[in-house]
Structure 1
Amino acid sequence: MASAKQTVAASAFIEFSQAVAKILPKDNVIERYLQRFAYGTDASFYRLVPKVVLQLDSDIQVRQVIKLANKYQVAITFRAAGTSLSGQAISDSVLIILSSLWQGIKILDQGEKISLQPGVIGAHANKALQVYARKIGPDPASINSCKIGGIAANNSSGMCCGVKDNSYHTLADIDLIFADGSQLNTADSQSRETFLQQNKSFTTRLMKIVDYVNADHALVTKIKHKYRLKNTTGYGLNALVDYSDVIDIISHLIIGSEGTLAFINNITFHTIEVLPHKSAGLFIFDNMDIACNLVLSLAQERVDAVEIMDARALNSVHGQLASIVNIDKPLNAESVALLIEISADTVEQLQVNEQQLLLHIKIVEKSIQAQKAFTIDKDEIEALWKIRKGMFPAVGSVRPKGTTVIIEDIALPLARLAEGVNDLQQLFKQFGYDEAIIFGHALAGNLHFVFTQTFASDKEISRYRDFMAKVTKMVAIDYQGSLKAEHGTGRNMAPFVEMEWGGDLYQVMKQIKTLFDPKGILNPGVIINDDSEAHLRHLKTMMATDDIIDTCIECGFCEPVCPSKDFTLTPRQRIALWRQKALLSQQISHANDSEKIALTAQLRALEKDYQFFAIDSCAATGLCGQQCPVGIDTGMFIKSLREKKNTGSKVKTFSAKVIADNFSAVSSIARLGLNTVATINHIAGNKFTKKSFKAVSTLSNNAIPLWFQAWPAGAKVIAEGEFNGQNHLLSAPVASNIETQVATPVATTKAANKVVYIPSCANRIFGCDEQAPDKRSLVAVVLSLCKKANITVIIPKGSGELCCGMPWQSKGLAQISQDKRQQFLAKVVTASEQGKWPVITDASPCALTLNQGEDSDNSATRLVIFEATEFIAKYVVDKLQINKSDECFMLHNSCSSEKMDQGRYLKQLAQLCSDNIVEPENISCCGFAGDKGFYLPELNKSALAPLKAQIPPGCQRGLSNSRTCEIGLTEHSGISYQSILYLLDQCSD
């Protein structure tokens, strides 16, 4: 039976919800269980499911919601990217997320400062600063995913940041919204004055706390001592002794407060200079004492970063490491590596710095087991850092199934680093954490240790409890270190804040919390928590469910590149929900009758919604796998689910096979249909056509696509044969017999004078864009470019029947996809005279699909299919005279190009043609996903939502290398997108 307190709370929540419904659009109030669970997922090992999720679009809405929460005493938690590791971004009450409208960036003082909204991803801020050779100070390993709001709220630091360049020390100004809805923008003198006038009681009480602390020499000494190290345990009490102005004190207290004191509406940082010359090296030593003593010496020199990694950490990434450092066997148990990076204004100064460091290293050179000497090669430096940054998820990827990976984050006095590591390793041994690894930021004495843990039994929970008791005492008492150096207190370390800071300063923290948030509505349970076992509550269960995804640790690194992230779900959320389905099924099997009813209803709702939110709306492009530190391709997982579903549908499989077996005829019908629609639209108008197709699509249960304005007419039929230039047929069509011959490696050289060209089905079906200035077919453009380079083009007879297989692959029809791929390869083996001539296709998704088949890793039988931009860049452009255009062009790097070569050749051709190329921010995949853009245009629209606002005035053309992508891009940009080859042909002689 509910208590009176619970009844009052439930009543207050209902009133709050009713009030919120009056001020927010319906779509911004998220109550569906699937979505609430999804947004309740962060990178920590805790799990809470919010009662409701509110998506807010503006600071006005933030103030309104905070005021309502304060009025009804309803707890609210602000969530940024959810990459936090200590449980500070989850809630079982109201979770607040920010929409995509919070990504404002303003460069100030020629890059000396940068003003950022909280939704900006850290790496995007740095990209905006690149032209000024500057960056923000914090550089967490998750910078490609985490957002500014979280970076500031957690006072994140990172690899090179140390203490001096974190958010606290680089803060210039901040715009805050407090628990009562009042606002303070420290950059605005009027706002400061108004705040001081209207909050005299607040500021007076705060200054009393400041005076109390500063009057006690022991407290001041302790605070200063604690912040010589990295420290994010508790509130930033250094603000009380570093500043005397009340506004400065308030603004710096907010840094690292984890959303428990105020909402960060905007923040301005002083930026850090990025020196132009950089080098890095990796050195592996015999033992920890040698490495740590070397760190003490290096700390006296000009060095940006020294990362330390123990033997287990190195062995967890042995495969990657062996490709860079000459290691042919696992390292011994005592080995330790240091990754060292330095930078300088000049090459000469860089070399001087290197030599100075090498003098220190030379002293212990007999202890060096292996090394990658200092290198200035950017790719090699990036590879070294990728190894370091991937260690946390790498351990997660090899953990026993069903266990959780835990990362702790401490700082020790640098002089006692080796001693502390040895003590930690003894604790690992004592408690049986044999897989635990240690790595971290050695210059700051900042260690991360990672281990795996199951919470499936009371015995295992007790093991974790006892281990944490020992660790916290060792760090906080024995070493006078920091229990949380840079990951924030969260729920994880809240029970131990008083242990680290002592009773007096813990009471000061409680007074600060009460002063800023008297009703306790802002992220309760985080930082200040009287429950001594809060770190053992709400533990996340990581069910083993599928080999493709079981290694996922739910870090969220994949999310920024997902085209459905603002539409339905992200890869991390798809995985977390799949695990939850398995967990609910398990719980139902062990539940009593009354529990079964509720759990079963929850499972049924989840299963029903999962089909659309997770499976149907996934673009399945696999970009997430490139971002994932352990390569988890959630798109592949979704395709496997589609395949399982289709296996049981004989009708769907049969109809798909009929289309595949009669593809040329189907393509002809599609062209005819497109031309018919274009004629009807020309006569009846856009409104009629769109409305008619919507009705027909609904009646057909979405079997017939939705029409939109960028739909092209049908393409003209392509001539087949041997060409030496545009529309100049040299010989009869190539024989159509299909032989299953094995291809030898393609002998492509600059002197190649023939190429086999298979126009993609998209360019055989869809005509050019009606807005485009050049209305030739892409085939004509390719022929024109090859003619200029004196290259004969072979379009084999029967090419109209060919397809790479991707349309069936993406729908989970693997066998049909493979059959079409093999049909394609057999045709081009014959046409290329068993690999004598290069083979190209004119769509990046086709080239990727053809080169990724099961036999693609066998170099003896591999036939490379060039995507047209790669072939043109390698074998044609050096034979052209290119005159750059003065026009501005938008450039879209398709996800398939990104996966093949990071868009290298597409970008290369664009830069050859114009110096005014714009690559929009926050768009990784257009979301058209083959033909999905025709049937689910909302995905395409959501993925391209940031595009239109980034098109410069006067820019009228866009460039890409995938016809279907170009259709969606044209629709949602308002300008014409075409293949980059059109521009190249226009600019070249």
Structure 2
Amino acid sequence: MLDESVIISDKLQRYAFGTDASFYRLVPKLVLKLQNENQLIAVIKLANQYLVPITFRAAGTSLSGQAITDSVLIILSHEWNQINILEKGKKVKLQPGVIGAHANRSLASYGRKIGPDPASINSCKIGGIAANNSSGMCCGVKNNSYHTLADMRIVMANGSVLDTANLLSRQQFIGNNSELIEQVSDLANSVQQDPELSAKIAHKYRLKNTMGYGVNALLEFSDPIDIISHLMIGSEGTLGFISDITYHTIAVEPFSAVGLYVFDDIQIACELVRKLADESVSAIELMDGTALNSVTDKLQDFIAVEQLSSRHAGLLIEVSSKTASELKSKLLNIERHINNCDAYLIAAKAFTQNTDEIERLWGIRKGMFPAVGAAREAGTTVIIEDVALPLEELANGVNKLHQLFHRYGYHDAIIFGHALDGNLHFVFTQSFEDEAEVNRYSQFMGVVSRLIAIEFEGSLKAEHGTGRNMAPFVEMEWGENIYQIMRSIKTAFDPLNILNPGVIINDNANAHLLDLKTLPKSHYIIDKCIECGFCESVCPSKNYTLTPRQRIAVWRNIADLKQRNKQGLLTPEEIADYQELLKSYQFYGIDSCAATGLCAQQCPVGIDTGQFIHALREQNNHSQAIQQLSATHFAKFVWAANKGLKLLASTVGVMGAKNTKILFTGLNKLSFKKIPMWQSSWPSGADSANNLVVHNPTRSTLILDTQANQQYTKKVVFVTSCANRVFSADQKAVDKRSISTVLASVLDKAKIELIIPKSVDNLCCGKPWLSKGNQTLAEQKAQEFIDAVDMASEGGRWPVVTDASPCALTLSQLKQADVMELSEYLLSYVVPQLTITKTSDPIMLHQTCSSIQLDGAKALTTLAQQCSEKVIIPNDIACCGFAGDKGFFLPALNKSALMPLKEQVPADCQRGISNSRTCEIGLSQHSGLPYQSIVYLLDQVSVSKGSHDFDGLS
């Protein structure tokens, strides 16, 4: 029996899982969030017994509709994210829930990476990468999952398990699945003994090809186990479940250069690609003139954009090498070819090795798909198709696609792609609101399919998978004989057709026109969303309630139902469902959203779902009076909270932790969740700031006692966050001094005077009110802050610093204020004045979501790495989910967000660091380690420059 916790039957959540990155929508009847292989086997056996179709889903970033179902959807819990590095990084064993970028992060210290490099690698998971045979910009054909596969563990459609790395498992599988082994062997023999079929398959796989099953496995292997494991690559969950996969990794070449070259003739650009294909080029991205014009706002930093037209074509070229001298040699050869086309060259950004410029240039290319999405008319969706052509037909193919765009009215369509592989993506906007629009799309795709598959003998899906989008065209591309082989593969592996039916093999010629997703207007902040799912990997509530994509999808449904209800188009049952959905959304959509804004960092069109939730909270804000009172008398509220925590600490000492927890659980229920849920990591109240300082008679500021008699020429204005004024240091920490005292110690070593505004107790950045949807009060408190620090800094003469990254981010967003986050200040102003001896102790580092938004957490991370030889940044945690005070009132959000944390803490690790006190409370609770501000670590490992005494903590 499955535990109820893994079964999702709620209507709202089922609807939320009815979307993926494609333009289809199917609402599952049931969603199962399985935790291990045993549960999966049990479900598969039940599905066989009752003939219930099941679909596996990893991240749901697939573009062809292969990750949705109207039956049972199986998703992965966080337990499926194990990474095992083998043979000093030459191999890596990955479970299907591992995000691709996390696998590469684990391999980085070995100078290795996995071969596949899809554009969605920061979000997509290994299960999907393998099941779709995803490739990418540099991967080509040779480094995809098929060609870098070492071993695989598979759960078959009958529930049996095959581990190809285990000799006993292979032998048992052969003995227990003789019929499948025989069928696979017969299919391989039939292909290998037919010269015409063999030649056609080999010819087709000279290109990138994910159309249909990977029948090249029948041609290239003789061992049935090898054939089975390679057929699983690209099978899109229709043949079995990939429980883990072991890859042969590839070396990362440390020296790279990237250049951008724009030509006035697509033919010249494509001819250059053919010439460069014989050189050592890592990647060439082709971009047509319309694609270039879609990103001129970013492109103008590198080239003149005024003269760009639709007839132009750009090449983004990357060259990588093991050594600097080898790179230089390669560039000389490549530049010689480019110079031969100089007469046609209209603009160029010559090869650069600057990492920032390389990142920005690739960002421009990656931004083309979302640029179309951002500019599209509300209510339309963005469609991205993915084909591959023989390299010699590349220019001809682009020209003919342009002609089709014009004929069918897709005037905003753009073309870009991985030119070395002849792999083109074309992107256009499409409405599915009426029959005429659906017919236009149907006719267009029919013509395109014949052009690519028959005229050019190319592939209709190069790297995005067949899905339900291209299933009706598989036979057209491959012909009847090979299509029947593919049908036989499906029957051999899944005779009852329970695994993802309708995907890859589909008898309905109009399957690609069914269950089309509409994107109705619902709110100006989210109307641009294309539901790609890139946001989901960083969302703290992804394993708790909803992700940003799901919040948007459900709200769109609510908005659509609301409009139809106004028009009197809903039945009584639909009205009841609408009201239930609206009520449920309050918790699932609004209350449980951390509103961190991290989703905007990952979103291709920059949508901040947290800002959208803030807008909804503002509409529902029923506590204006209390919020106004807390803003006016903020110092008293902070004082009361501080005293309350000290009293609570005494209570815990008397009652014990267990009884205290029982008491607060009851109070939470009785107060309708107005009283928070107590956690053992709650600290006591902090010492009052005024007890640590003396008045400076010359200005309206305070100076710490430790610096009262010092006369330094450099100064800094410091405002400690309200959280550090309320909470004491972690009770398990070795160093329990206040953060102000620790900072004073560090600054004293650097000979910098610490200035604190006298009004510090009443100062706040405004975040508490902003998060509750009260923009007016938030801006009012932020302005009070700015006025106070402006006076203390003598009109901006001295830097102004706050110790909490959320405060620095909020002030930046509300007032564009120049208030530095503490780690940024320490790195820039203080560290150069210190001598640091790195600790050898491992340190857990939490990069707060606000630090990531401020500077990509570079200052915090760099400072940590200067203080410790071993800084550990855990995978799959982007935000702790504490979200201000939500960690007190909704601890389940914090728990869910940090679920993968404790298992990643090394046995010899004794502490964690970050730069937000409330985050640190939650991190301590769920890691078992004391977390503190990074300034504590810096004080421990530093002395004044020139000093020979080291008096830091041991």
Give the aligned partner of residue 706 of structure 1: 677
1:101 partnered with 2:79? yes
What percent identity do the matched residue pairs reach?
A: 56
Compute the TM-score of the two structures, normalised by the length of structure 2: 0.96
**Change over 3 Å in CA distance of 1:297–1:52 after alignment to 2:** same
Please, which of 898, 912, 924 is the counterpart of residue 958 of structure 1? 912
Query: How far is the alpha carbon of 1:894 from its aligned partner?
Result: 1.2
Query: How far is the alpha carbon of 1:944 from its aligned partner?
Result: 0.9
Give the aligned partner of residue 786 of structure 2: 825
Indicate if the aligned counterparts of 1:734 and 1:796 stay in contact, CA closer than 8 A.
no
Alignment of 1:483-882 (within 5 A): 483-588=460-565, 596-646=571-621, 649=622, 652-719=623-690, 729=694, 731-732=696-697, 734-735=699-700, 753-853=714-814, 855-856=815-816, 863-882=817-836
Specify the code of the residue in structure 1 equivalent to 2:357.
E
CA distance in 2, matches of 1:896, 1:947: 19
1:26 partnered with 2:4? yes
CA distance in 1, matches of 2:865, 2:8: 44
Please, which of 70, 84, 89 is the counterpart of residue 48 of structure 2? 70
Q: Secondary structure at the match of 1:282?
A: strand
Indicate if the aligned counterparts of 1:733 and 1:796 stay in contact, CA closer than 8 A.
no
Q: Secondary structure at the match of 2:256?
A: strand
Alignment of 1:888-967 (within 5 A): 888-967=842-921
Specify the code of the residue in structure 2 equivalent to 1:246.
P
CA distance in 2, matches of 1:461, 1:526: 20
Specify the code of the residue in structure 2 equivalent to 1:490.
G
Q: Secondary structure at the match of 2:758?
A: coil
CA distance in 2, matches of 1:735, 1:643: 36
Please, which of 254, 271, 281 is the counterpart of residue 276 of structure 1? 254
**Change over 3 Å in CA distance of 1:302–1:736 after alignment to 2:** closer
Give the aligned partner of residue 129 of structure 2: 151
Query: How far is the alpha carbon of 1:206 from its aligned partner?
Result: 2.1
CA distance in 1, matches of 2:132, 2:518: 25
CA distance in 1, matches of 2:338, 2:686: 66
Indicate if the aligned counterparts of 1:280 and 1:341 stay in contact, CA closer than 8 A.
yes
Q: RMSD of the TM alignment (CA)?
A: 1.5
Indicate if the aligned counterparts of 2:701 and 2:756 stay in contact, CA closer than 8 A.
no
CA distance in 1, matches of 2:358, 2:446: 39
Specify the code of the residue in structure 2 equivalent to 1:979.
S
Specify the code of the residue in structure 2 equivalent to 1:322.
Q
CA distance in 2, matches of 1:210, 1:975: 56
Q: Secondary structure at the match of 1:302?
A: coil
Indicate if the aligned counterparts of 2:256 and 2:320 stay in contact, CA closer than 8 A.
yes
5+ residue gaps, structure 2, are 703-711, 944-954
Q: Secondary structure at the match of 2:840?
A: coil
CA distance in 1, matches of 2:698, 2:932: 29
Query: How far is the alpha carbon of 1:209 from its aligned partner?
Result: 2.0
Query: How far is the alpha carbon of 1:771 from its aligned partner?
Result: 1.0
1:133 partnered with 2:87? no
- 1:781-837 Cα deviation digits (max 9, x unpaired): 112222222222221222101110000001101101111001111111112221122
CA distance in 2, matches of 1:904, 1:213: 54
Query: How far is the alpha carbon of 1:330 from its aligned partner?
Result: 5.8
Query: How far is the alpha carbon of 1:589 from its aligned partner?
Result: 5.3
Query: How far is the alpha carbon of 1:211 from its aligned partner?
Result: 2.1
CA distance in 1, matches of 2:422, 2:912: 50
Indicate if the aligned counterparts of 1:342 and 1:350 stay in contact, CA closer than 8 A.
yes
Q: Secondary structure at the match of 1:440?
A: strand
Give the aligned partner of residue 948 of structure 2: none
Query: How far is the alpha carbon of 1:734 from its aligned partner?
Result: 3.9
CA distance in 1, matches of 2:840, 2:271: 58
CA distance in 1, matches of 2:723, 2:669: 25
Alignment of 1:77-226 (within 5 A): 77-226=55-204
- 1:412-453 Cα deviation digits (max 9, x unpaired): 111011001100000000000000000001011110000000
Q: Secondary structure at the match of 1:812?
A: coil
Q: Secondary structure at the match of 2:728?
A: coil
Q: Secondary structure at the match of 1:887?
A: strand
Indicate if the aligned counterparts of 2:382 and 2:427 stay in contact, CA closer than 8 A.
yes
- 1:226-261 Cα deviation digits (max 9, x unpaired): 000111111111111111111111111111111111
Specify the code of the residue in structure 1 equivalent to 2:687.
K
CA distance in 2, matches of 1:551, 1:60: 41
Query: How far is the alpha carbon of 1:602 from its aligned partner?
Result: 2.2
1:296 partnered with 2:274? yes
CA distance in 2, matches of 1:166, 1:924: 28
Query: How far is the alpha carbon of 1:916 from its aligned partner?
Result: 2.1
Q: Secondary structure at the match of 2:424?
A: strand
CA distance in 2, matches of 1:626, 1:729: 43
Query: How far is the alpha carbon of 1:590 from its aligned partner?
Result: 6.1
Give the aligned partner of residue 414 of structure 2: 437
Indicate if the aligned counterparts of 2:299 and 2:305 stay in contact, CA closer than 8 A.
no
CA distance in 2, matches of 1:882, 1:417: 57
CA distance in 2, matches of 1:404, 1:913: 48
Q: Secondary structure at the match of 1:978?
A: strand
Please, which of 220, 231, 253 is the counterpart of residue 231 of structure 2? 253
Query: How far is the alpha carbon of 1:511 from its aligned partner?
Result: 1.1
Give the aligned partner of residue 32 of structure 2: 54
Q: Which moved more, 1:887-896 or 1:553-562?
A: 887-896
Give the aligned partner of residue 408 of structure 1: 385
Q: Secondary structure at the match of 1:264?
A: strand
Specify the code of the residue in structure 1 equivalent to 2:796.
G
Specify the code of the residue in structure 1 equivalent to 2:610.
G
- 1:325-365 Cα deviation digits (max 9, x unpaired): 12242611111111111111110110110110111101111
Q: Secondary structure at the match of 2:286?
A: strand
CA distance in 1, matches of 2:739, 2:482: 71
Query: How far is the alpha carbon of 1:598 from its aligned partner?
Result: 2.8
Q: Which moved more, 1:200-209 or 1:957-966?
A: 200-209
Indicate if the aligned counterparts of 1:752 and 1:837 stay in contact, CA closer than 8 A.
no
1:316 partnered with 2:257? no
Indicate if the aligned counterparts of 2:701 and 2:755 stay in contact, CA closer than 8 A.
no
Indicate if the aligned counterparts of 1:311 and 1:332 stay in contact, CA closer than 8 A.
yes
Give the aligned partner of residue 13 of structure 2: 35
**Change over 3 Å in CA distance of 1:689–1:525 after alignment to 2:** same
CA distance in 2, matches of 1:443, 1:539: 33
Give the aligned partner of residue 355 of structure 1: 332
Specify the code of the residue in structure 2 equivalent to 1:554.
E
Query: How far is the alpha carbon of 1:512 from its aligned partner?
Result: 1.1
CA distance in 1, matches of 2:608, 2:489: 45
User: How many matched pairs?
Assistant: 934
CA distance in 1, matches of 2:167, 2:625: 71
Q: Secondary structure at the match of 2:191?
A: helix
Query: How far is the alpha carbon of 1:706 from its aligned partner?
Result: 1.2
Q: Secondary structure at the match of 1:719?
A: helix
Query: How far is the alpha carbon of 1:733 from its aligned partner?
Result: 7.8
Query: How far is the alpha carbon of 1:216 from its aligned partner?
Result: 2.1
Give the aligned partner of residue 839 of structure 2: 885
Specify the code of the residue in structure 1 equivalent to 2:590.
I
5+ residue gaps, structure 1, are 1-22, 721-726, 738-750, 857-862
